[in-house]
Amino acid sequence: MPFTLPDYHEPALGTEPLASCPDAALLAVASPGVAPEGYHATTIYPECVKVSGGWALATESRMDCVIVVRGDGSLEVKEFRRLEPGERVVVGRAEDGSQGILVHASGFTGDAGRSSEPFGRTRETAYSRDYNTLYDLLEFERANGYVVWVLGPAVAFDHDSREAMSALIRGGFVDAVLAGNALATHDLEASLFKTGLGQNIYTQESDEGGHYNHLDTLNMARGAGSIEALIESEGIRDGIVHACVEAKTPLVIAGSIRDDGPLPETIASAYDSQDAMRAQTRKATTLIALAPQLHAIAAGNMTPSYQVVEGRVRPAYIYVVDVSEFAVNKLRDRGTLEVKSIVTNVQDFLVHLSRRLGAADSA
**Domains of the chain with bracketed CATH:** 18-103 (2.40.420.10), 128-362 (3.40.50.10690)
Q: Please, which residues have CB within 8 angstroms of residue 86's CB and are 6 or more apart in sequence?
A: 28, 29
Cα three-residue angle 158-153-114, rounded to 5 degrees: 100
- Which strand (E) or helix (H) includes residue 75? strand 75-78
CA distance 35 to 67: 10
Are 94 and 45 contacting, i.e. CB atoms less than 8 angstroms apart? Answer: no
Q: Give the amino acid at 240.
A: I
pLDDT in tens, the chain (363 residues): 788 999 999 999 999 999 999 999 999 999 999 999 999 999 999 999 999 999 999 999 999 999 999 999 999 999 999 999 999 999 999 999 999 999 999 999 855 445 545 445 666 676 778 888 999 999 999 999 999 999 999 999 999 999 999 999 999 999 999 999 999 999 999 999 999 999 999 999 998 889 999 999 999 999 999 999 999 999 999 999 999 999 999 999 999 998 999 999 999 999 999 999 999 999 999 999 999 888 999 999 999 999 999 999 999 999 999 998 887 888 777 777 788 888 999 999 999 999 999 875 555
pLDDT of amino acid 118: 46
pLDDT of amino acid 249: 98
pLDDT of amino acid 111: 55
E-state strands within 225-338:
251-254, 286-290, 306-309, 312-315, 317-322
Q: Residue 342: phi, psi to the nearest 5?
A: -130, 120
What's the start-to-end Cα distance of the chain, in Å? 24
Residue 51 has what DSSP assignment?
E
